[in-house]
Every structure is written in structure tokens, then in C-alpha cells.
Amino acid sequence: MTATSGTLLHQITDYANRADPYPLYAELRRTPVARQDDGVYTVSTYWEILSLLHDPRISSDVRNRTPQAGGDLPPEDDTTLPPSFLRLDPPEHDRLRRLATRPFGPPHSPRRIHDMGGDLVRMVSGLIDGFQGREQVDIVEDFAYPFPVMVICKLLGVPHQDEVLFHGWADAIVAALDPSPAEGPQERQRTAQRARTELGTYLAGLVEEHRRAPGDDMLSALITDHGPDGQMSPVELITTAVLLLIAGHETTVNLITNGTLTLLRHPEALKRLREDPDLAVPLVEELLRYEPPVQLLPQRTALADIDIAGTVIPAGASIWLMLASGNRDPRRFDDPDRFDPGRRDNEHLGFGSGIHYCFGAPLARLEAQLALTGLARRLDGPRLVADPPPYRQNPVLRGPRHLPVAFDGVTA
């Protein structure tokens, strides 16, 4: 059966509903696989999303989409850069991801993230130290944004003083990921493309520097290391660096901000975390389920007719996988709208699943755990200044634009 609920999806992407899209997701789940007015197929239930994430008949490469399939997506890439592995299918995807993984995680670099732990703790305390003497901060500007940026710079080997440079580039690039911008999509695209080119040029310079004087960072390793797959070409290297840089912090900002917001809305959870830092581990998993930074994946395309949940998604169709909706599917999770920081059965879709499973998941987890424990432990009497806070425009990477929080003091 095919149902149309175009207005529903429209409501979901409508900025007016950004603060609380969850009732709309619940309505969307009534038709697990729904054809929208513009031809897009939304998939909103847990098991169906999971199954499609493991389905080789689904492509992440928009070049496979038929023109009439709807769900127009701004191309991530401009004329000078090829798509990153996020938007490629195997075998290209596999090769690039393997190459990127070598200096990042197991089996070749099992300690990279673990060894950053100390630095991360210092960054968190440094930022919170900066709250001293203030009565109110913006969690986004003063904490949740600068922290992951410092981390990704350190990881990639980007000089600290250059951070400001790409703050603006990143903003512009991410803004263009919005599939339904409120106004001026063309203008937005041009700005994003310019930002991408500038960032690419900047990174190309950086790559040259690291080639001449390699350090202990990921970029240096990517440039100098030779594995069974050989090496990335210069242009692949730059595309990958752009991806890691953008994806490496734009999502974490929202994870930390959504986390802070959720904790302030659930004071008993905040209290528990303050008393028991070990709670951070399941709590962050629950956040990834309850308020995932990536709400939906709008860039999948069917390569063949796919018969699922009583509907046939035709070859060439554009598919939106509604991760945040799947995370609240009552057929999968008990009492899904309840924030339960100790939840045990919690295989959420917050990082996706399958071959595109979030590359940076181990890092994002660690950052969020340390950031939230730091805030819980050190802020005295924290409270929300505005609830809901103002949200960012983007329905894909969803999170507050600002999160003003007042407090009585900062514990040492």
C-alpha cells in the first residue's frame, strides 16, 4: 500500500516544528514506508530503516537518482572535488573508508582515540574554567561548538590559530545540507560552494606542509602511510579531510547541546550523572536514541525495486531514512518517548548502521561523555533561560542554535 502524506513531511521540515518534531514522526510511522507528493519515499519505522541500511540495492551516490525522483539534494561536491566516501558506494566507498580508518581506529590505530582522552579532559575543563565569574553562558557558542572544533583540529593536525578561518566555511557548508532551506537556496549553494573551494584550497596547503614535516596527526599519517590499498590521491585526501572536518564537529555540537538541554529538562538524570560519572556511557547512548543529532538520511537512492513493509520502492526513487523516528518506534523500544539514561536494550540508529555507520562514533561518544560529565559536575544550579531554545534552521542536523544557560557558580 502506498500512502501520501506530503503535508506531513512538509511539516517535519518546516522550521516551525523544529523544536519538537516527535509527534509528527509518530504520525509518519503510521505508514512505515510512505510515498510523498514529490516522489520521495520516507521510511520511518525501526526495522524497515535498519533493513534498508543493510540493503545493497540502496545507493548513497546521488548520481544514481532519476531526475523525477524528487527529494532534490544539493550536491555536496563542486566542480573541483569528487564526492567523499559518505556519498559513494562500494567499492570506492570501501577503499576510501579503509584508507581513512587506518590512522583513526582499529586494527591499525587502536589507541588513537583512547590516547586523546587526556587532551579532551583538559579542553573541557579549560572551557568550563572560562565560565568563572559569569552568570550565564551560551552552551553552543561557549562550549559545544569550540570543544569539538579543537578536537578535530588536534586530530587532523590543523594549527590552532586557523580554527577561526574555517568556522565560517563550515557554517556555510552545513547550511547547504538543509534539503528545504527557508529562503534563497541558490544563494546558499553559491556561498557553500565558495566555502568548500576555499576550505579545499586551505587544506591543500596544509597537506603540503604535513608532507614536508609530518607530525603525529591523522593528516600526516594519511599522507605518509602506505597500506595494502595504497594511498589516497591528493584530491581524495582533500575531500576526505573536508568530510572529517565538517562531519567531525557539526554533529558533535548538536549531540552535546541536545544533551545539555535534555539533562536540564530531566534534573534527576543530571543529578545522577553528577554523582555517578559512569552513567555517562549509557546516558550518551540514550541521547543518541532520544535526540539524535542526525535526524534523517535524505541521500539514499533505490537501485532496484524494493519490496518492503507492503510497499514497492521503485528503482531510481529517492529515499529518506527517518532515523530519529525509528529511534522512537514503540515496536522496537519500550516507552520510547521516555528519556531513560540507564536504558539497557538500546541499539539506536543515532549513528546509522551498515557500511556508512558513523565513522567518528568512538570519538563523538567520548567527547559527549566528557563534555556532559564536566558540565554536570561543575555547574552549580544550572537552569534553562529559554525552553525551547532557538533552533538551527537545519532539519537534518538538528539542534539548538543557541542554548543560554544560567547558573549560580562554577565548581573547581
Least distance (Å) from another protein to the CB of residue 314?
12
Reading the block at residue 392, the C-alpha cell is 538551527
323 burial (CB, 10 Å; 0-12 / 13-18 / 19+) is buried
Q: What are phi and psi of 384, to 5 degrees?
A: -75, 140
- Report the alpha-carbon distance of residue 166 to residue 45 in Å, rounded: 37
Interacting residues of 224 by C-beta distance below 8 A, sequence separation 6+ = 211, 214
Least distance (Å) from another protein to the CB of residue 237?
22
The stretch near another protein (CB under 8 A) out of 16-24, 291-299, 302-310, 358-366 is 302-310
Q: Is residue 116 within 8 Å of 154, Cβ to Cβ?
A: yes
Question: Which one, of 120, 130, 122, lies nearest residue 152 by Cα?
Answer: 120
- Report the alpha-carbon distance of residue 103 to residue 217 in Å, rounded: 8
The stretch near another protein (CB under 8 A) out of 124-132, 204-212, 300-308, 368-376 is 300-308
Radius of gyration over every alpha carbon of the chain, rounded to an integer in angstroms: 21
Question: Closer CB to another protein, residue 95 or residue 154?
Answer: 95
Considering only residues 79-108, where is the footprint of another protein by CB under 8 A? 89-91, 94
Strands (DSSP E) found in 77-215: 136-138
Least distance (Å) from another protein to the CB of residue 353?
8
Reading the block at residue 135, the C-alpha cell is 552568570
Question: Closer CB to another protein, residue 160 or residue 331?
Answer: 331
Count Cβ neighbours within 10 Å for each residue of 126-138 and write b for 16 or more, e otherwise: ebbeebeeeeebb
Q: Half-sphere exposure of 129 toward its Cβ, with a 13 Å CA cutoff?
A: 6
Considering only residues 342-361, where is the footprint of another protein by CB under 8 A? 354-355, 357
Task: Please select the residue that binds another protein; options are 303, 385, 406, 410, rule is CB under 8 A.
Answer: 303
Q: What is the 3-state secondary structure (H, E, C) of 195-258?
A: HHHHHHHHHHHHHHHHHHCCCCCHHHHHHHCCECCECCCHHHHHHHHHHHHHHHHHHHHHHHHH
Least distance (Å) from another protein to the CB of residue 77?
19
Question: Closer CB to another protein, residue 188 or residue 348?
Answer: 348
Task: Please select the residue that binds another protein; options are 116, 165, 312, 315, rule is CB under 8 A.
Answer: 315
Task: Please select the residue that binds another protein; options are 26, 116, 304, 361, rule is CB under 8 A.
Answer: 304
Question: Closer CB to another protein, residue 47 or residue 407?
Answer: 47
The yes or no reply on residue 282 touching another protein (CB under 8 A) is: no
Least distance (Å) from another protein to the CB of residue 306?
8
Question: Closer CB to another protein, residue 12 or residue 50?
Answer: 50
Least distance (Å) from another protein to the CB of residue 240?
20
Least distance (Å) from another protein to the CB of residue 47?
5
Question: Closer CB to another protein, residue 271 or residue 331?
Answer: 331
Least distance (Å) from another protein to the CB of residue 104?
17
Considering only residues 196-255, where is the footprint of another protein by CB under 8 A? none
User: What is the x/- site pattern for another protein, positions 43-72, by CB under 8 A?
Assistant: ----x--xx--xxxxxx-------------
User: What is the x/- site pattern for another protein, positions 104-133, by CB under 8 A?
Assistant: ------------------------------
Taking CA atoms, 280 is separated from 3, 47, 369, 371, in Å, by: 41, 27, 5, 10
Question: Closer CB to another protein, residue 58 or residue 324?
Answer: 58
Interacting residues of 180 by C-beta distance below 8 A, sequence separation 6+ = 13, 395
Q: Is residue 176 within 8 Å of 188, Cβ to Cβ?
A: yes
Going 126 to 130 to 136 to 141, the CA torsion angle's sign is negative
Least distance (Å) from another protein to the CB of residue 351?
13
Least distance (Å) from another protein to the CB of residue 44?
16
Binding site for another protein (CB under 8 A): 47, 50-51, 54-59, 89-91, 94, 303-305, 315, 331, 354-355, 357
